[in-house]
Amino acid sequence: MSKILDKIEIPTDRFEIRLSGSGGQGMIFGSVVLCEAIGQSGDKSVVQSQSYGPEARGGASKADVVISDDEIYYPKAMKLDLLLAMTQESLDKYYGDLKDHGTLIVDTSLITELPTEDYYGLEFTRLARNEVGSIVVATVMALGAICALTGLFSKEALTEAVLARAPRGTEDRNKKAIDIGYDEAMKIKK
């Protein structure tokens, strides 16, 4: 019989999010504005970390955000509560890190093979191209969906955080992307 390994439980005082996609899709940008939106929405502790370096350009790229009401000890994700996958490769690579019954959000315009039926699928990239006119805002749209599906932060806080960091002249596109992501997610929210 094991002395401890059979008895341990995953800490319940943490909420762990991973944004994953391919390098250049804005996963790190997304994780930073996510932190700022959460920071504006209350007194929670947040830690953001990222995979860094040549391997983060192209291929699977990820950024993790850990949220807690208490002091956050381990700064990286241990078992994800929420995984956003923007590409098939990132889904394949990180799905195993998601908790049982954790929230899976995928971009179904790029992802065709799902390992489970328990997921939220939205066509972020297609909607970004067709409705906003730029695929660059697909990740921001996904943040709108995370906002709607988790309620961890308000849409206003998210919009403020995105606009504070986004290049000038992109305000309307970003706002529209957040709105679409939020509204589409509300339609499928379980």
Partner 1 sequence: MANKQKKLLQGNGACVEGAIYAGMTVYAGYPITPSTEIAEGCARELPKLGGRFIQMEDEIASIAAIIGASVTGRKVLTGTSGPGYSLMSELFGYAYMTETPIVVVNVQRGGPSTGLPTKVGQADTMQARWGTHGDYNAIAIAPSTVGECLTETIRAFNLAERFRTPVTVLLDEVMGHMREIIELPEKGDHEVFDRVKPTVPPEEFEAFAMTDNLVSPMPSYGEGYRYNVTGLTHDVKGFSTNRTDETIQKLDKLFNKIEHFTDEIFKSRVELVEDADVVFISYGTVSRAALQAMQIARKAGAKVGSIQLYTIWPFDYEMIKRATKNCHTVVVAEMNMGQICHEIQKVLDPSKKLETVQRYDGEIITPMELLEKLEEVL
Check residue 19 for interaction with partner 1 (CB under 8 A).
no
Check residue 8 for interaction with partner 1 (CB under 8 A).
yes
Contact mark string toward partner 1, 130..159, x via CB under 8 A: ------------------------------
Contact mark string toward partner 1, 44..83, x via CB under 8 A: -xxxxxx-xxx-----------------xxxxx-x-----
Of the ranges 43-51, 106-114, 131-139, 171-179, which one interacts with partner 1 (CB under 8 A)? 43-51
Which lies closer to partner 1 via its Cβ, residue 54 or residue 169?
54
Which lies closer to partner 1 via its Cβ, residue 11 or residue 121?
11
Which residue in the set 15, 17, 18, 36 belongs to the binding site for partner 1 (CB under 8 A)?
Answer: 36
- Give the per-residue SS3 of the chain: CCCCCCCCCCCCCEEEEEEEEECCCCHHHHHHHHHHHHHHCCCCEEEEEECCCHHHCCCEEEEEEEEECCCCCCCCCCCEEEEEECCHHHHHHHHHHEEEEEEEEEECCCCCCCCCCCCEEECHHHHHHHHHCCHHHHHHHHHHHHHHHHCCCCHHHHHHHHHHHCCCCCHHHHHHHHHHHHHHHHHHCC
Binding-site ranges for partner 1 (CB under 8 A): 2-5, 7-9, 11, 32, 35-36, 39, 45-50, 52-54, 72-76, 78
